[in-house]
Amino acid sequence: MKNILVTGGCGFIGSNFILYILKRNKDLSVINLDKLTYAGNKMNLFTVPKDRYTLVQGDICDKGLVDSLFNQYQFDSVVHFAAESHVDRSIDTPNQFIQTNIIGTLNLLEESKKFFLKSKTKDFKFLHVSTDEVFGSLGMDGKFLENTPYDPSSPYSASKAGSDHLVRAWHRTYSLPTLITNCSNNYGPYQFPEKLIPLMIINAIKEKPLPIYGKGENIRDWLYVIDHCDGIWSVLCNGKIGSTYNIGGNNEIKNKDIVKTICNILDEFIPRKNNESYSELITYVKDRPGHDFRYAIDANKISTELNWTPRESFESGIKKTIQWYLQNSNWWKSILDNTYRQERLGVIK
């Protein structure tokens, strides 16, 4: 039985990853270290096999805790998701992002290094999950490559850029076996309702305004979360140590077109009582400070080296996502009742 430490495994991508690997691998045991902040939900993992899953509530910045977990479980791999990840919140409270994303990653690297050097485990790997936002903003042309210079725009992306640099440095300086993945925008089940797609779905269901920043012209590449999990697993199993892999969905779409697509699908799935389209609820609001115009991932490297490509088109993935939120209203209603009030964040006054 191999033991994998997953940090931030009660979050959106982390919980989907744990569900994905435990379903497909009977010889794995996952220890999930999660602080259970506002975006962490242990109910995301209610269905996992209890004999191969352990939740440890704690902070990746807690050196004593991380050290004790390494000593107890002798991890074969670390898959590091734990991060503050919402751009708007980073504008309001950047200190939290620096503490978790940089200091927390530093602590994990140091404890991993100590364990690796002591155990002489040849197969140990540290996989750091990052974002395409570290590359900054694109114009109308070009895509992010693995060697694209970093140019972060927000406190969030700057903190992730810093953690990426630390991971590379620990590989080059200490020979720690590391891997980095930089992904495009994820969507799918269990995404916290502050993000664009679940916010639009839930607001439409509740007949509330659908706020779009600026003119809605900003472009993102969209990746279905299960495809992302599959890509991460491919990199962990077969990626070249010390390498970075971009993981993208090949779906460049304007924000306003994302919202219109959601409205059109909801028009089909649950027509409004007044027979109007949900698109009538769209409203344009003041843009986010430093809002990057366009992200686009070139995922040719992971496709060529590891034979990975996304299975879902945006059309198929968004329908699955909307169906999930319709069928799991208790999940998001609990969040709206207890955790998230849908307040506007990241507005510089």
Q: Residue-wise pLDDT tens for the chain (349 aa)?
A: 899 999 999 999 999 999 999 999 999 999 999 999 989 999 999 999 999 999 999 999 999 999 999 999 999 999 999 999 878 889 999 999 999 999 999 999 999 999 999 986 778 999 999 999 999 999 889 999 999 999 999 999 999 999 999 999 999 999 999 999 999 999 999 999 989 999 999 999 999 999 999 999 999 999 999 999 999 999 999 999 999 999 999 999 999 999 999 999 999 999 999 999 999 999 999 988 878 899 999 999 999 999 999 999 999 999 999 999 999 999 999 999 877 656 645 455 5
The 3-state DSSP class for residue 37 equals coil
Q: Is 271 within the bounds of a domain?
A: no
262, part of any domain:
no
Residue 146 included in any domain: yes
Gyration radius from the chain CA atoms: 20
The token pair that represents 339 in the structure block: 């955790």
Q: What was the pLDDT predicted at 6?
A: 98
Report d(CA 78, CA 211) in Å as an integer. Answer: 38
Domain count for the chain: 1
Neighbours of 305 (CB within 10 A): 15
Q: Which residues contact 154 (CB under 8 A, 6 or more apart)?
A: 87, 90, 91, 133, 290
Residue 348 confidence (pLDDT): 55
Per-residue pLDDT at 345: 53
In this prediction, residue 291 carries a pLDDT of: 85
Bridging pattern class, strands 185-187 and 53-57: unpaired
pLDDT given at position 171: 98
Residue with tokens 């903190």: 159
**Sheet containing 178-183, strands listed edge to edge, beginning at the edge strand earlier in sequence:** 53-57, 28-34, 2-7, 77-80, 125-131, 178-183, 244-247
Domain assignment present for 34: yes
Active-site annotation, residues: 132-133, 156
In a domain, 232, yes or no: yes
Task: Give first-to-last CA distance, the chain, whole Å.
Answer: 54
Give 126's strand partners: 78, 178
DSSP state of 98: I
CATH number at residue 167: 3.40.50.720
Is 217 part of a structural domain of the chain?
Answer: no
Cα–Cα distance, 251 to 317 (Å, whole number) = 11
Q: How far apart are CA 12 and CA 330, in angstroms?
A: 16
d(CA 161, CA 199): 27
Write down the pTM of the prediction.
0.95
Strand partners, 78: 5, 126
Q: Are 204 and 214 in contact (CB under 8 A)?
A: no
pLDDT of residue 222: 96
**pLDDT at site 89:** 86
Question: According to the model, what pLDDT value does residue 289 have?
Answer: 85
CA-based nearest residue to 159, from 234, 231, 82, 52: 82
Note down the domain range covering 172: 2-188+223-250+292-312
What's residue 287's pLDDT?
A: 87
Q: How far apart (Å, rounded) are the C-alpha atoms in residues 311 and 20? A: 14
Q: Would 132 be classed as within a structural domain?
A: yes
Instruction: Supply the pLDDT for residue 224.
Output: 98
In a domain? residue 274: no
Question: Cβ-count burial of 5 within 10 angstroms (0-12 exposed, 13-18 middle, 19+ buried)?
Answer: buried
